[in-house]
Structure 1
């Protein structure tokens, strides 16, 4: 891959991850304009910044409206494991926070705790803590909130080398932050180290263990909710006219499916992601060999191993790496 490196862009839904990446490379990812997350998978966007070739990664938030935290962690971890196994350089993580938020919410606290466990303290020096949406708040209020973050939720990260930025929303400032990241040494995150030891399950990692404990507490409650929804569906089928019945059934069925997804998320934490990723990489490599074709770049293996969503980006990635496509 040569001089190419990855930078992760993380944060809760609405923090401005997709907007930030589009300032680095216009129209490269879809931006959301509501509380509903538009980023469902890790999306890799290749670009040139000065003399450096950078791949910025838009990541889903842990407060996703459809996917549970366990599913989102699995998606991010599969991406990170593939990157690690293919020896693609990771420079660090840009963590975004909306400064116009009136308080540091419960979902943001959960996100930050999981974020710490993904990184590990040794990687905090490779983290940029970036406040966004400054145009949406009075400057004095924003500065007070920033100080509260620095002496509160962010204090341990800053004490171990994380640095802070006020992002003004411009392409130049986005590039300045990215260039700072590119100057860092490569980093291996704690969750990557944990998963390579004995091909352990995701639930055995520091980040996965907490989510597993939370899910176990919620399982019985969710099963009761599903039983209640099943009973309500049965009643509605008998008592409503066809038009009303259809609408109510669809609504109740959607609620039931959401609860079932949360229960099924437990299986994601039981996955041996390191082992599964190794097999995926080996399978796509063997498939290429059977066709008597050679890989032009590790990025091709990366795209193939991560599936169709990442593979769609390969036509953007490879030309910038000096590889002809098609």
Structure 2
């Protein structure tokens, strides 16, 4: 699960400082949002609330990148496609935290998107979620974005290598394309063990330490705080609307299934203010 992977960074989980919201944080903290799917099975024990964990930076890393006295803040976000919470609400929670942090002059040092390499192949829905993630980050410099592939401990070696190549050449191509003029994201393996998780953080701290600016401003932060847009007007919300429209169009032919699916999606649609045409209403037999 996403939270378990996040906790790999902490030798003793009982010693981490758990804080809800963004209270107790400082503008000098190293902010790293952790994003990604909820995991296979969509367990109710997966993250549904946006939480953050304050972790002391390892002494050798703090000295190497001149970050002594600063804390690492891992922001554990709920994943899309959770059966118990709508995608619209998940986006709202992520946006609220990020906007609040930016409003208090706390910038993001890097973003980690975690994705299981096994057992399932990437689906169309996964691709849609990646597009929403891209809109959250923006189309500019992605050099501080790390795609961390997990579950290598249960994945056959040959399968994992092939999946990794497939993700890099197809699904993650737009994020990893080295031909882009601005910085691209980096894909790294995240096996079990805290030392591997610290390797991911090390890569972020290295970019942070060598950067001319202390942090980055994500697209959704810029749109909400600087431009004063409403959430429904942001690029991420617009992309999420596209995903929901696809769900509507691809609903099951079963009348009962169509009704259940629409009842669930319609609330998300209303939250994101998607206009329903008479044709769509008639097609689903809902009105």
Aligned equivalent of 1:203, options 203, 215, 232: 232
Instruction: Please list the CA deviations of residues 223-267 of structure 1 after superposition, one character each: whole Å capped at 9, or x if unmatched.
Output: xx9xx87xxxxxxxxxxxxxxxxxxxxxx9xx96x8655433345
CA deviations on 1:16-66 (whole Å, 9 max, x unpaired) are: xxxxxxxxxxxxxxxxxx432421121100001223410101111111112
* 1:13 partnered with 2:38: yes
Contact residue 27 and residue 107 of structure 2 kept, 8 A = no
Q: Deviations over 1:142-194 (max 9, x none)?
A: 01110111111111211242112111111011112112212324111111112
Aligned to 2:55: 47
**Alpha carbons 1:49, 1:179 under 8 Å: kept:** no
Cα root mean square deviation, aligned: 2.8
Query: Which entry has the higher C-alpha Rg, 1 or 2?
Result: 1
1:36 aligns with 2:61: no
Alignment of 1:27-106 (within 5 A): 34-37=41-44, 38-50=46-58, 51=62, 52-106=70-124
Is residue 131 of structure 1 aligned with residue 149 of structure 2?
A: yes
Map 1:1-326 onto structure 2 (within 5 A). 1=26, 3-14=28-39, 34-37=41-44, 38-50=46-58, 51=62, 52-159=70-177, 160-183=183-206, 184=208, 185=211, 186-215=215-244, 260=263, 262-269=265-272
User: 2: CA distance between counterparts of 1:220 and 1:3?
Assistant: 46
Q: State the SS of the aligned residue for 1:66.
A: coil
Q: CA deviation at 1:220?
A: 10
Q: Structure 1, residues 108-159: CA drift from partner, whole Å, max 9, x if none?
A: 1111010111111224111011110001111121011101111111112112
Deviations 1:259-280 (A, max 9, x none): 655433345436xxxxxxxxxx
With over 3 angstroms needed to count, the CA separation of the structure-2 counterparts of 1:136 and 1:143, relative to structure 1, is same
TM-score by length of 1: 0.61
| Gap runs ≥5 in structure 1 | 16-33, 230-251, 271-326
**Hey, what's the Cα distance between the residues in 2 that align with 1:192 and 1:208?**
13
3-state SS of paired residue (1:192):
helix
CA contact (8 A) 1:4 1:54 kept: yes
Structure 2: any 5+ residue segments left out of the alignment? 1-25, 63-69, 178-182, 274-287
